[in-house]
A and B are shown apart, each in its own frame.
Chain A
Amino acid sequence: MSAPDLRRIVDVARLLKTGALAPQDLVLECLEQIEARPQVNAFITLLKESALEEAKRAGTEIGAGRWRGPLHGIPVAVKDLIDVAGTRTTSGSALPSTEAVEDAPIVTRLREAGAIILGKTNLHEFAFGTTSEETAFGPVRNPLDETRSAGGSSGGSAAALAAGMCFAAVGTDTGGSIRIPSAACGTVGLKPTYGELPLEAIVPLSTTLDHVGPMARSVADAALLFQVMKGLQPMPLPAAPRRLVFGVPVPYFCERIDEDVATALTRARASFEAAGHETIDVAIEHASWTPHVYLHIVLPEASWYHAPLLVRHGSSYSPGVRLRIEMGRYVLAEDYLRALELRSALQLRVDRALDGCDALLLPTLPAAAPELGATVMDVNGHREPVRAAMLRLTQLFNLTGHPSIALPAGAGRDGLPRSLQLVGARHATERLLAIATAVEPQISGGPGSVGGGTG
C-alpha cells in the first residue's frame, strides 16, 4: 500500500476516521498557512473561531463512532458569492452587502457531510473577470509566483488550495471561472453539466451560463465533493473502460497555445496511447463563433441582474466590471436571440465531436497565468487581450453545458503550471470523473506518463 498523501482528502479521511489525525490539526494547519502568507489574499472572511469549534465537535463525533463520511472534519473554503449563514456575501465588491441568514443548499450539503467551512474566498468582482484583480479586497496573488494572477474568477479558492490553506473549495464557472484559476494554480476544477448542482443563494452572473462546482487537489477529492454537493452519498465512481478513446479538437483549441502547453498535450497523448487508449483528431465545427455567441449572452444577462444596483451604486463597482455590465445594456434583443440559436447549434457540434469518443482532450489555458496588471498575453508571438485569451478554450462548454474538468499537466520551462481539460457527454459528469481518475497520472506527468513532469 502506498504512503498516504496528506494533501488529498481521500487519504486524510482515513486517518481522521481512525483517530490518527484530529480535525483541529487540519484546521490549525490551514490557518497557519493563511497567516504565513497574507499577501496571497485568498480569503475575504476567515471563520477561525467557528471552524475551530466545528473541528472540535467533529473530533468528538468521530471519536464516538459517528463518522459521517470522508468529508467529516475536512476544512473547505467557499467562494464569496455563495451564501454562508452569518457571513456577508460580498461578491468581491465594495457594494453594500448583507449577512446571509441561511446557507446556500450547496453549503448545507457540505455541512451535512461533516465539512468545516473555513472561510469565504476572494474573487474577481461579481465573478465578472478572469484574473481576480478587480476586487474591492485587493488582488489575489498566485501562490506559485506572487507576481502572477491566480486566475479567476474563483482565484481565491484555487490559490487557497495551492497554498495548503484549505483541503477543498467551492467555485463558480460562467465562462471558465473554476477551470481557469485551477489551471493557473495547478489544481483540479470541475464544471459539472449545466443545471446539475443547485445555484440557489449564489449571486448570479449569467443565469443560463452559471455553474457551481468543486475545486480540489485531486480528481478523487473533486469527485467526492461533487457527489456530496449533488446530494448523494459518497461512493466509488463507475469504473472507466480499460481502453478509452479521446478526441482532440485540434482546430481552434490547439492552434494558438504556447510551446509548453503544446508539449503537455503531446505528452498526454503519448502517455494515453502507451496505456492502451486511443487519441484521434476531431473538429468542433463553428468553434470560432464561440466568443461572439458568449458575449451576446453573458453581457445582457449580467446587465439584467445588475440594472437596479447600477442605478443606486454605479460608482461603487470596479471600473472595468462596471463597464462590462454597462455594455450589456446596449445588446439588442434580436442579437441575444441570435446568440441563443447559435448556442443550440454549437451544442450539437460538441455532441457530434464526442460521437465515438469517451471524452475530448484539450488545453485549459493557452499559456501560463499572466503577470498581475497585464492587459495582453503573448501566446507564441500572438498578442491577445488577457480576458479573451483566458476564456478562449473554456467558454464553449458553458454555452453547451457539457461537463469539463481541468487537470494539472506538469510545469512549463518557466516552472508555472500548465493544464489540460477533459470534456464529457452532457449528464454524464460521474463518467467524466471516472475517466479523469483513470488518466490523471498520465496527464499530470506522474507515474504512467511519458516524458516526466515538466513541460
Chain B
Amino acid sequence: MDQLIVLLPLLGAIIAGFFGRLIGDRGAMYVSSGLLLISMVLSCIVFYDVAFAHNARVTEVFTWIDSGSFEVSWALKVDTLTAVMLIVVTGVSSMVHVYSIGYMSHDPYKPRFFAYLSLFTFFMLMLVTADNFVQMFFGWEGVGLASYLLIGFWYERPSACAAAIKAFLVNRVGDIGFALGICGAFVLFGTAGFDQVFASVPGMADAQFEAFGISGHALTIICILLFIGAMGKSAQLGLHTWLPDAMEGPTPVSALIHAATMVTAGVFMVARLSPMFEYAPTALELVTYVGALTAFFAASVGLTQNDIKRVIAYSTCSQLGYMFFALGVSAYSAGIFHLMTHAFFKALLFLGAGSVIHAMSDEQDMRKMGGIYKMIPGTYLLMWIGTIALLGVGIPGVFGFAGFYSKDIVVEAAYASHSTHGTFAFVMGVVAAFMTAFYSCRLMFMTFHGTPRASKEVMSHVHESPQVMLVPLYVLAFGAVFAGLAAYEYFVGQHMEEFWGEALKVLPENNSVEAAHHVPLWVKLSPLVAGLGGIGLAYVFYIASPALPAKTAKALRPLYLFSLNKWYFDELYDRVFVRPARVLGFGLWKGGDGAVIDRLGPDGIAATTQNASRRTSLLQSGYVYHYAFAMLIGVFVLVTWYFLSQLG
C-alpha cells in the first residue's frame, strides 16, 4: 500500500504526460486526478494504521546504489511524521487537481499541467517517505524540478521564465548546503540511512570536524548546512526572494507547491532530523532566529503589497517562519501541527484568491478590485474562513479555527523555552501576528468591500466559479475550521507521546511543548489580542476611513517604501551577486574563452588549416610543366639528401 501511494501519482504523471494526446485533455485530467484521490484514500488508511494502530514501518523496495561501503536502498519509511505529511500532501494535491480541472479549463496545455502536478506529488511523496539522505535528496531535487516546470508553465511569458530560473537558482544555493550536509553526515556516520544515523548520534555528540586547522562541532556544522538547504526550499529570510516571484505560476500551483507542500519540505526535514538537531543547540538557536526574523520580515512586507497573490505569498513566508522558530525551540510537534493546519487554510486562501482572479478576468491587483462580495458570495465566505483560520481566532477553551490552536501553541512554546532566542521568537511572533491580522483583513477589505475600482467591462463579467472549483474549497474549508480542534490533543496535547511514537525526538530538558501548557494566561492571550488589534486597525483603515492609508503612507514614507520594496532584498542581491557574476561571466566568456581559448584553439587551428588548404590547392596550376618540375624537384631533393647524409 505504501508503494501504491507513492507510485500512483507517478503513474498519473506518465499517463498524462506521455499519453495525453492519446486520451485527450479530459482523459488526462480525470486519470491523474482519480489516481491522486485513490492515493489520498490510501493515505488516510495508512495514517490510521500508523498513528493510531502504531504500525510504523520501513518498506524496502529495492537496492539503489551499492558501491563499496556505500549502500542505499529505495525504501519507504512510514511513521507518524510521514503519515501526517502523506495526508497533507495527497489531500491538498488531490484537491488542487480537482480544482485545476475548472481553473485550467481555458488553457490549451492541460495534459502537461496535470502531468507536472502529478509528477510534483510523486517527488514530494518520495521526499516525505525517504528513509535515507540520498532518497530524500532525490525527492528534494525532484520537487525543485517540478516547481521550476510549473512556475514556468506559461513559458511564453518572459516574467514566468525569469521567475522559474530565479526559483531554481536560489534553491541551488540552499541545495549546496543540503548536499554538503549530507556529505558531512556520511563522513561522520559512515552511512546515509536515517535509522543508523539517528542511532549513533548520541555517541557522536562531541565529535569535531577539522579542516584547514580549524575545528568545529561536527553535528552543529552538519545541522547548519542542512538547515541552509531547508532555508532555500522553505523561503527563509535571505533565500526567500524566489517565493513571491514564483506566483507567476498558475494559482493552483501556488496553492499546492508554494503554500501547502513543497515550501514546508524544509520544516519536515528539520523535524525528521530532530534526533540530530537536538544535539546541536547552536544550530537550533540559528533556526529560531532565522524563523522569527522571517516571520516578522515577511509580515511587514505583506502590509503594503498590492498583488493579491503576493500578499498571500509573503503570508506563507511569514507562517513558515513560525514553523521554524517552533522547531528551533524543540517544539517539533507544534511546528508540524502548524504545518498541517497551515496547509489547509493557506491552500484555501490561494485557491480562493484563484477564484477571485478567475472572476475578475485574470486581474491580480487589489487596487483594481473591491465591492464584489455580493457577486461571488461563495468565494467570499470561503476566503473569510481561510483568513480567520490564519489569524487564529477562537474562544479559548470552547472552540477555535485551525490557526488558533497551532499558532498559539507555537508562540507559547517559544515563550516556554525560557531562553533568549525563545523570548525573541515570542516577541517577533506576537508582532507578526498583529501584522498578519492587519494585512489579511486589508486583503479581504480591499478585494471584496468598498467601491468597485475595476472597469465596467470586468465588473459585468464577475461570476461565481463552477462547482468543480468550489467543492475542493469546501473540503479545505472544513479542514481549516476543524483540523485544529480535532488534532490538538494528538499533535501537542495529552496523547502526544503515543501519537508521535519514535518519529520525533526531544531531549527531556528541551520539552517546550509540555511547558507551553503551563504558561501564564497573558501569554496565551497575547497572539489573540494582537490579532484582534490588527483586525480592528484594518477595519479603521479600509472600511471606516478609506483616506487614512494614503495619509499614513505619506507620513511614514521611508518605512512605507522600505516595506513596499521588500526591504530592498532583490536590489541588494542584484548589486552584490547578480551583477558581479554577470560581469565576471561576460569577461571570462569574451576575454577568456573567446579571445584566448577559441582563438588559439579550435578557431585558430581551423583557420590555419583552411589557409594551408587554400595554399596547397594553388599549387595545382594545371600546367604540365609545373607538374613535371615538381617531380624533378622531388627527385632532386631526395638525391641531395642522400648525398649530404652519405658525405656528412
Q: Do A and B come from one complex?
A: no
Q: Which B residues form the contact surface with A (CB < 8 A)?
A: none
